Structure 1
Amino acid sequence: MCEANVYLIDKEGNEKLLLESVDKLVPSDESIMLENIFSQRKTVKARIKEMALVEHRIVLEEKD
């Protein structure tokens, strides 16, 4: 399997799990749309901070 868990770092620096088993990530100018294998979707105003795909981990950082 090639899905990853996505974590969000908020403005205070706290990291929280945002969505599990994400297999689709679509960035745009203002936000990032995530979709997991269960067809759950979330859109967040964030930027990609780190992608560690061997560890199945993507870290996003909240934008203003």
Structure 2
Amino acid sequence: MCEAKVYVRDGDGEERQVMEDVMLVQPEPEQDAYLLVNLLGEQKLVQGRIERIDFLRHTVHLGQPDSNASEF
């Protein structure tokens, strides 16, 4: 199976799992967030920015939103 677990790093630097069995990670740029949809169709809007995606471990790691980030 190719579902992922999504983790968010809080202000203290600790990661917490916010959803598992995620099938879709869709950017919502107007809200500085990502829409997560799992295998059962449950949805969650999570603010943050992608820090890394680990395809081997099927994990997505989000950090705090950075309003000063520069465009590439």
TM-score (norm 2): 0.81
Q: Which amino acid aligns with 2:57?
A: E
In structure 2, the residue corresponding to 1:20 is in which secondary structure? strand
Measure how far apart 1:28 and its partner are. 2.3
More strand by share: 1
Over aligned residue pairs, what C-alpha RMSD do you find? Answer: 1.2
Which amino acid letter does the alignment assign opposite residue 19 of structure 1? Answer: M
CA distance in 2: counterparts of 1:5 and 1:43, whole angstroms:
14
- Give the aligned partner of residue 35 of structure 1: 37
Separation in 2, partners of 1:57, 1:18: 11
Would you say how many aligned residue pairs link Structure 1 and Structure 2? 64
Identity %: 33
Q: Distance in 2 between matches of 1:11 and 1:45?
A: 13
Amino acid in structure 1 at the alignment position of 2:42? Q
Q: Which residue of 2 aligns with 1:12?
A: 12
Aligned to 1:24: 24
Deviation at 1:62, TM superposition (A): 2.3
User: CA deviation digits over 1:3-54, x for unaligned, max 9?
Assistant: 1000010111110011001010001222110000011111011100110011
- Is the radius of gyration larger for structure 1 or structure 2? 2
Residue 14 of structure 2 aligns with an amino acid whose one-letter code is N
Unaligned stretches of 5+ residues in structure 1: none
Match of 2:61 in 1: 59
Unaligned runs of at least 5 residues, structure 2: 67-72
